[in-house]
Amino acid sequence: MVIDAAFTSVGVNYFQVVLPKVREFEKEFVRNGKVTGLSSFCHFDYKKAFYIWKNERSWQVAKEIAQYLSTLSKDDKNSLRIWAKNASIDKWENDPIGKIKGVGLITYQYLRMMGGVDTVMPDKIVKKVINRILIETGEMPVNDNLNFIKTVENIAKINGFRPIEICLMTWFLENPERISEMP
């Protein structure tokens, strides 16, 4: 999940680029025990995986996220959950993960969602769909990411949906043929 978020942070197509590369990394390094979790990934020489992903910044972001999360619990999934539960959207830039160079609000929110927080990430697909709906209903589009997140959370509350459901629905609308591939 950490590598997925770090690779996604560069803004390339998730299904065509990120997902195949994350799966390739998993096959080459995780399934055979070369990387066993966050702690071992902290010491992983990512140059050995440059043939999979050549963006050094992405690797550095992943390693720094892994390094911080590995301090929270010996269980990797629990580490992500602990962080996500305690991470604040209003103070995201002062958060240990938010301070990592290369982690923007979209990556921050994506990690929070993977950690179990019911929220939305303001990526270009989600913003495109939601803003189109806002315009069609006579409302103004919301471009500021923090305001966008709060707007979608309010829309969810009013309509009886969860913010994460609205986020995923936008992805389904824009990528109906790829639904089965979504993590």
Residue 58, CB half-sphere, CA atoms under 13 Å: how many?
22
Q: For residue 103, give the nearest of 114, 89, 88, 92 by alpha carbon.
A: 92
Residue found by looking up tokens 């996604």 in the block: 8
Residue found by looking up tokens 């509350």 in the block: 157
Among residues of the chain, what percentage have pLDDT more than 70? 96
pLDDT at residue 181, as a whole number = 63
Among residues of the chain, what percentage have pLDDT more than 90? 86
What letters, b where the CB count within 10 A reaches 16 and e where it falls short, cover 14-42? beeebbebbeebeeebbeeeebebbbebb
Residues in the chain: 183
pLDDT at residue 109, as a whole number = 97
**Least confident stretch, 4-13, 45-54, 87-96:** 4-13
Listed by start position, the domains of the chain span: 2-114, 124-181
- Return the structure tokens found at 52: 């999979």
Would you place residue 135 in the very low, low, confident or very high pLDDT band (cuts 50, 70, 90)?
very high
* Cα gap 169→105, rounded to integer Å: 20
3-state helix, strand, coil in the chain (%, to 5): 65, 0, 35
* Cα gap 156→183, rounded to integer Å: 22
pLDDT at residue 16, as a whole number = 87
The pairs formed by 127-132 with CB atoms below 8 angstroms and a separation of 24 or more are 128/170, 128/174, 129/170, 129/173, 129/174, 130/155, 130/166, 130/170
Would you place residue 119 in the very low, low, confident or very high pLDDT band (cuts 50, 70, 90)?
very high
pLDDT at residue 39, as a whole number = 95
What is the CATH number assigned to the segment(s) 2-114? 1.10.340
11: DSSP letter:
-
Q: What is the pLDDT of residues 22-34, one digit of tens each?
A: 999 999 999 999 9
Would you place residue 175 in the very low, low, confident or very high pLDDT band (cuts 50, 70, 90)?
confident
Mean pLDDT (whole number) for 102-117:
96
Mean pLDDT value across the chain = 93
Cβ neighbourhood burial of 43 (10 Å; 0-12, 13-18, 19+): exposed
CA dihedral 33, 37, 38, 40 (to 10 degrees): -30
Mean pLDDT (whole number) for 54-80:
97
Can you give the pTM of this predicted structure?
0.91
